Chains A and B, each alone.
Chain A
Amino acid sequence: MIVAIIIYVVAFLLALISFVWKRLSLVSSICAIAAMLAGGLYCYFMQYDLVYSILGFGSIALFLLIYLVIRGGKREL
């Protein structure tokens, strides 16, 4: 299980760097997100505890939320 957690943390950081630092391409961020997604689905289909899948999908969601809140357009409610 520790492998899954390491993948999530590394992929999360890679994704964050590649989005924030423009020199890194979109491809690297897609790879990082894919790693988290694949990790989440892998843990689910291997019937590990659901918390590992939740961590995988949660990492992507959190990273993209941070990115879109900082960089994305906002509207008044």
Chain B
Amino acid sequence: MNFNSVIFLIYLPLVILIYWILPHKARWAFLLLASYFFYAYHNVFLIFLILGTTLVSFFAALGIQNSQKKGLKVFLLVLSLVLILGALFVFKYLDFAVTSVVSLVNLFGGNASYSVLNLILPVGISFYTFQTLSYVIDVYRGKFEAERHIGYYALFVSFFPQLVAGPIERPNNLIPQLKAIKKIDSECFSYGFQYLISGFVKKIVIADFLGVFVASIYGNIADASGASLLIATMFFAIQIYGDFAGYSDIAIGAAHLLGIHLTKNFDHPYLSKSVREFYRRWHITLNSWLTDYIYIPMGGSRCSRSRHLFNIMVVFLVSGFWHGASWNYVIWGLLNGGLICLEILLEKPLERFKNKTEIRKKVVNFISVPFTFIIICCTWIFFRASDIQSAGLVYARIFTSFISGNGLEYFTSATTVLRVVLTLAIFVFIPYLPRLNFKPDEEGNYNTKQIFSTLTLYVSLILMIGFCWMSQLASNGESGFIYFQF
């Protein structure tokens, strides 16, 4: 089920209402059923895969905890990892892996062939696979006690707000919250509502609107001018933020309305002063997962310089593969890893250069944010283009045919330009919406201006979301989320 669908607007209030009416003992069962309904809404067969992953990880973790022999613990860990990652491999990477091998064989004069299986990619498989892996590994490491109630564990894997596109939750954050007795809390509702509105604005008002232009330009790269490709790439950077951060906000908001706090996934990423900082603020739960389960076990930064850089490259290679079974995602990952390695290598010379005079320091600080944004935009080209050749063509046209070509005629209409300006301005300010505090002063009085402005803000945002949604349904139909494909 999509968050930006009509059915979700009926589903969410109904789930929240029934959840709070039910006694605590029955809530987990209801939420589990609601989550499975949410997941199976478009394809019932996907339930069997998530059930299989749940059962394998649940019993493997119990076995690991109960067994006395180290060898058996290792065996159960490896077996569960093979089964869980095996399912991910078959559904997501099998076609890609075999096709790549066949191409390689044919490149060296062989005559191999393979008919693609075209299996359905189960929505959110990468997200819940990583969530179950962290559970089994944490139990093996002794960081978390295996859950004995299969219902709560199944709910941890399939909790509907974060099931299909994260945030990737850790067992020690989510399971205790699912078990805790909760009471209706006005603060939780206020937070939840603010996050929901913020998420819908990011998705429907920002991402879907800019996405139309991006799709039209990237759909015909050969005829597009370099300038329009450059604008489309910058718009894509904002679109993907709006799409993914919007999903995360809706997930966090929906969970808040159920009294559950999910982990923050974005923290103003485009205000970063370096690529390293960007990945500490972008998709925080995936990057912290990769840090805890791959980067640190490999030695992290507490090793030789070359080993440290190698570890970074491995993490970003995995991140690239995680995003999709395609070489352009791999190159995107490696490009980001390479940029971070370069930053590490240039860190000390840059510090020396910066600290020589106060003016230099100010200039470097001033340009670092837009510079990082441009660098990140350059990497997004590989993410957005359908294949490596198309990405190469985008770079080529930006540098060789900046003016000649199509695309800029989109900006000849005054209303379009105004809407673009409005959308970009809202993009700058909307991340602050969940942080706005509408509490009375110390004497318990509300400021008239604040009440008026707050109410009007929400009414106008809801109206704007509604009208943008109507406009989009009329022209393109319901749009999905970019990260659903991962």
- Interface residues, chain A, CB within 8 Å of chain B? 1-2, 5, 19, 26, 30, 33, 36-37, 40, 44, 49-55, 57-62, 64-69, 72-77
Cross-chain contact A68 with B461 (CB below 8 angstroms) = no
Which A residues touch B470, using CB under 8 A? 50
Cross-chain contact B422 with A75 (CB below 8 angstroms) = no
Cross-chain contact B415 with A51 (CB below 8 angstroms) = yes
* Measured CA separation A27–B476 after assembly (Å): 41
Which A residues touch B264, using CB under 8 A? 77
Cross-chain contact A58 with B450 (CB below 8 angstroms) = no
* Measured CA separation A1–B276 after assembly (Å): 47
B423, closest chain A residue (CB) = A58
Interface residues of B in 415-451 (CB under 8 A from A): 415-416, 418-419, 422-423, 425-426, 429-430, 432-439, 448-450
Q: Is B9 an interface residue (CB 8 A)?
A: no
Cross-chain contact A74 with B435 (CB below 8 angstroms) = yes
Cross-chain contact B448 with A65 (CB below 8 angstroms) = no
A44, closest chain B residue (CB) = B467
Q: Is B67 an interface residue (CB 8 A)?
A: no
Which B residues touch A68, using CB under 8 A? 436, 450, 453-454, 457
Of A30, A53, A73, which is within 8 A of B467 by CB? A53
* Measured CA separation A22–B415 after assembly (Å): 32
B264, closest chain A residue (CB) = A77
- Interface residues, chain B, CB within 8 Å of chain A? 205, 264, 414-416, 418-419, 422-423, 425-426, 429-430, 432-439, 448-450, 452-454, 456-457, 460-461, 463-464, 467-468, 470-471, 474
Cross-chain contact A61 with B464 (CB below 8 angstroms) = yes
Of A40, A51, A75, A77, which is within 8 A of B419 by CB? A51
Q: Interface residues of B: mostly helix, strand, loop or mixed?
A: helix
Which A residues touch B474, using CB under 8 A? 50
Cross-chain contact A5 with B418 (CB below 8 angstroms) = yes
Q: A5-B414, A36-B460, A73-B436 are in contact. List 12 more A-B contacts (CB 8 A).
A: A19-B449, A55-B418, A58-B419, A58-B460, A59-B422, A61-B457, A62-B426, A69-B429, A73-B438, A74-B435, A76-B435, A77-B264
A62 CB to nearest chain B CB (Å): 5
B442 CB to nearest chain A CB (Å): 12
Which A residues touch B432, using CB under 8 A? 65, 69, 74
Which B residues touch A36, using CB under 8 A? 460
Cross-chain contact A54 with B467 (CB below 8 angstroms) = yes
Which B residues touch A2, using CB under 8 A? 414
B429, closest chain A residue (CB) = A65
* Measured CA separation A55–B460 after assembly (Å): 11
9 A-B residue pairings within 8 Å (CB atoms): A33-B456, A51-B415, A59-B422, A60-B457, A62-B422, A64-B456, A65-B432, A68-B450, A76-B435
Of A30, A50, A69, which is within 8 A of B436 by CB? A69
Which A residues touch B468, using CB under 8 A? 54
B423 CB to nearest chain A CB (Å): 8
Instruction: In the A-B complex, list the 7 residue pairs whose CB atoms are closest, starting with the nearest.
Output: A64-B457, A73-B437, A60-B460, A57-B464, A50-B471, A61-B460, A65-B429
